[in-house]
Amino acid sequence: MIKRTLLGALLSGTCASAALAQLALEKDELTFGFIKLTDMAPLAVAYENGYFLDEGLFVTLEAQANWKVLLDGVISGTLDGAHMLAGQPLAATIGYGTQAHIVTPFSMDLNGNGITVSNAVWEQMKPNIPADADGRPQHPISAEALKPVVESFRAEGKPFNMGMVFPVSTHNYELRYWLAAGGLNPGYYSPENITGQIGADVLLSVTPPPQMPATLEAGTIHGYCVGEPWNQQAVFKGIGVPVITDYELWKNNPEKVFGITAEFAETNPNTTIAVTKALIRAAMWLDENDNANRMDAVEMLSRSEYVGADAEVIANSMTGTFEYEKGDIRDVPDFNVFFRHNATYPYYSDAVWYLTQMRRWGQIAEARPDSWYDEVARSVYKPEIYMQAAQALIEDGYATADMFPPADEDGYKDPTPAADIIDGIPYDGTQPNAYLDSLPIGLKGEQAVIGTEVKG
């Protein structure tokens, strides 16, 4: 741990960057992985703006083929850390899919995803969607508008397929949440059947993010949930229509995290704080002055080594707007949030929400007490590391105390009010089982998936 007295002495009479270079880092050459999505931006910005170097860190960033390869790289040590799906550290730590203790000291962003359907499905949905005063579809669009389309597919004996990026991804849980809120069952998992399609009205399967538009265009799937720029890419290619953003689904919902192994954090505590400091500075830069730096970030992300999509496509969402139907461009200033609303703080309540969704759909097969959710959240999310990094940034002169949660923060956000969630059901992270009981579709209480049925 960096001692404040040492840091203060180092800063005395010298510039911050010179002082930072003298810190006792356990490891200064690091390789971090990422997937080609706009929400990897804090990593790119920390690299390109020299924030890693300011901390004495020599970082290499490497794009990964998919989320499994990325996670395996962190577990094996090929990668020192990575831009991760928030569900990945939690799932690995509880042994779902793979077993490894992964932790996060830094939340990468809020919001940033959308749900897109094919042009053909959109045309069938539109008669079910009320219009606003300008004659445009009224948002947010409920999955109730999709339900008759799914039923027509069923009547013709055809499956209705949609894509998401990984079984423990935010995208899987957001797509499931949207479908269930509209009365469509997205299916269950069981220890014997990990397809997630038990009893499903809509069949969900994994598609890597950059392949989403092509898979939609080929007709293999009829829609998908993904991060940017792959919803806007469908609009630009003229092959699909985003129907809802996750900001509309759940205002300021948590998204990606920066993941490292618990062993790395324990072996390299100073390095972990230094990395977190650089990432916090990058997030601050991305949001400062009402997103004034976003076009510079767009140019950065459009490069082939990062996202590699056209700058125009990336800018469509990164700069505070979002395009639904071609030409239907609306203001969504918080579509991507990197620092505002304490976006970078790793809240236990965010971790608990992911765990409730894993339980809701059978990835956690048996009921767990509320205390279990809290214990898992605390074993994975590390706000104590985050606050050490924040304090160091304050002492460096890069930030002020009012930019971060208070020192006595307990790690749980205030309950999300009903008005901020599409189904009108509030979320309180301190009451996970009561929350599960309040959701009309999904496992609750002692229920379990046995064979093809929910029992209990």
Residue 12, CA distances (Å) to 5, 182, 396, 442 in order: 11, 59, 10, 57
DSSP code, position 444: -
Q: Is 29 exposed, middle or buried (0-12, 13-18, 19+ CB in 10 A)?
A: exposed
The answer on 246 and 319 residing in a single domain is: no
Structure tokens at 217: 């265009």
Same domain, 101 and 125: no
Residues 6+ positions from 133 with CB-CB distance below 8 Å: none
Count how many domains the chain has: 2
Chain centroid offset of residue 202 CA: 22
Measured in degrees and rounded to the nearest 5, phi and psi for residue 96 equal -90, 115
Q: Are residues 54 and 173 in the same domain?
A: no
Paired with 224 in beta bridges are 116, 163
**Is residue 224 one of the residues assigned to a domain?**
yes
Rounded CA-CA distance 260/39 in Å is: 17
Q: Are residues 275 and 393 in the same domain?
A: yes
Return d(Cα 201, Cα 178) in angstroms, integer. 13
CATH code: domain of residue 72: 3.40.190.10
Cβ atoms of residues 380 and 89 within 8 Å: yes
User: Residues 222, 283: one domain?
Assistant: no
Separation CA 202–CA 42 (nearest Å): 34
Tracing tokens 């809290």 back to the chain, one arrives at 374
Q: Which of 148-154's residues contact partners 24+ apart within 8 Å by CB, and which partners? A: 148/124, 149/121, 149/124, 149/125, 150/184, 150/201, 150/202, 152/124, 154/201
Integer Cα distance of 440 and 258 in angstroms: 33
In the prediction, which pLDDT does 11 show? Answer: 33
Report if residue 422 sits inside a domain.
no
Q: Which domain holds residue 31?
A: 4-111+255-346+381-403
447 within a domain of the structure (yes/no): no
Is residue 173 within 8 A of residue 184, CB to CB? The reply is no
Q: In residues, how long is the chain?
A: 456
Q: Do 174 and 266 share a domain, yes or no?
A: no
Residue 181: inside a domain: yes
Q: What is the pLDDT of residues 357-380, one digit of tens each?
A: 999 999 999 999 999 999 999 999
- Residue 312: Cβ within 10 Å count: 12
Residue 291, amino acid:
N
CB burial string 206-226: b at 16+ within 10 A, e below: bbbbbbbbebbbeeebbbbbb
Residue where a domain terminates, one of 250, 277, 294? 250
Of the residues 250, 272, 304, the one at which a domain ends: 250
Inter-CA distances, 57 with 50, 51, 339, 387, 388, Å: 10, 9, 22, 20, 18
Q: 3-state DSSP call for residue 188? A: strand
Residue 233 lies in a domain: yes
Q: Which phi and psi (to 5°) does residue 369 adopt?
A: -70, 160
pLDDT at 19 (0 to 100): 42
CA distances for 220 relative to 85, 242, 248, 370, 449, angstroms: 24, 17, 27, 40, 28
Strands 329-331, 321-323: pairing kind = antiparallel
The answer to whether residues 316 and 298 belong to one domain is yes
Q: In this structure, is residue 427 part of a structural domain?
A: no
In a domain, 188, yes or no: yes
Residues 95 and 153 in one domain: no
- Pair (283, 392) in one structural domain: yes
Residue 216 sits in the same domain as residue 292: no
Condensed to tens digits (0 to 9), the pLDDT of residues 170-200 reads 999 999 999 999 999 999 999 999 999 999 9
Sites in the chain below the pLDDT cut of 50: 1-21
254, 90 contact by CB (below 8 A)? no
- The whole-model pTM stands at 0.94
Q: How far apart are CA 330 and CA 454, in angstroms?
A: 41
- 204, 226, 250: which is the final residue of a domain? 250
Locate 367 and state its tokens. Answer: 């009921």
Q: Residue 114: which of 274, 244, 265 has the closest Cα? A: 244
* 271: in domain: yes
DSSP state at residue 203 = E
Asked if residue 53 and residue 33 are part of one domain, the reply reads yes
242 three-state secondary structure: strand
- Do 125 and 146 belong together in one domain? yes
Cα–Cα distance, 355 to 349 (Å, whole number)? 10
Dist CA 296 CA 48 (whole Å) = 11
